[in-house]
Amino acid sequence: MILSNSRERTRFFRFAIVGAFGAVVDFGIYNILVNSFFFPVVLAGIISFLTAVASNFTWNRFWTYPDSRTKPLLRQGLEFLVINAMGLLIRVPILAYIDTPMRRLFANLLQYTHLAGRSPLLNANTLGDNITLAIAVVIVMFWNFFANRYWTYADVAA
């Protein structure tokens, strides 16, 4: 398996760190768009995702896979974008179909706590939206790592 190689584990760890930073970008933009500008969750999810992809590509090219810079920037960027677009196709149905049930779940859970209504961050919609997004981010991260490793960064020695 690819992760049995210590060099690949280091790359996966770096990819995960880059992904965590990308998740901060993703969640931040998503929450600003949904909570401040009242964007629909799917549209906000697409915009925040694409912004995170741009950040992740830059960091992965220069830090996770610096030896991949022998591949032309445009070609590698397009490959990365294609993989991430497929990830977006995984992500959008998760956001579309899980968000409402998660909001309902948190509405039910919060009605029995003293936390309900005390903070704009501790409401059913915000919690449901963010847990749904977290589920999507984790699922897509694994897809992105393995698909990018075998295509976008296939020229990098293991």
Over the stretch 125-145, which tens digit does the pLDDT of each residue have?
A: 989 999 998 999 889 988 999
Confidence at residue 122, expressed as pLDDT on a 0 to 100 scale: 77
Residue 58 falls inside a structural domain? yes
Computed on alpha carbons and rounded to an integer, the radius of gyration of the chain in Å comes to 18
How far are the Cα atoms of 4, 25, 34, 100, 118 from residue 109, in angstroms, in the given order?
41, 28, 22, 14, 14
Residue 156 falls inside a structural domain? no
- Is this prediction's pTM over 0.85? no
Report the distance separating Cα 81 and Cα 60, nearest Å. 13
- Expressed in percent and rounded to 5, the helix, strand and coil fractions of the chain are 80, 0, 20
Residue 123 falls inside a structural domain? yes
Report the distance separating Cα 18 and Cα 6, nearest Å. 18
Nearest to 99 by CA among 64, 134, 67, 55: 134
Confidence at residue 143, expressed as pLDDT on a 0 to 100 scale: 93
Residue 8 falls inside a structural domain? yes
Confidence at residue 1, expressed as pLDDT on a 0 to 100 scale: 54
Residue 68 falls inside a structural domain? yes
Report the distance separating Cα 49 and Cα 23, nearest Å. 9
Number of structural domains in the chain: 1
How far are the Cα atoms of 3, 54, 67 from residue 49, in angstroms, in the given order?
26, 9, 26
Residue 155 falls inside a structural domain? no
Residue 57 falls inside a structural domain? yes
DSSP symbol at 30: H
Domain that holds residue 126: 2-150
Report the distance separating Cα 114 and Cα 152, nearest Å. 49
- What single string gives the DSSP state of each residue in 39-82? --HHHHHHHHHHHHHHHHHHHIIIIISGGGGGS-HHHHHHHHHH
Report the distance separating Cα 19 and Cα 73, nearest Å. 20
Confidence at residue 36, expressed as pLDDT on a 0 to 100 scale: 93
What are the 10-residue block averages of pLDDT along the chain, 158 residues in total?
Answer: 81 93 93 94 89 95 92 94 92 93 92 66 86 91 92 90
Residue 115 falls inside a structural domain? yes
Specify the residue for token string 């920037």: 73
Confidence at residue 121, expressed as pLDDT on a 0 to 100 scale: 64
Confidence at residue 118, expressed as pLDDT on a 0 to 100 scale: 65
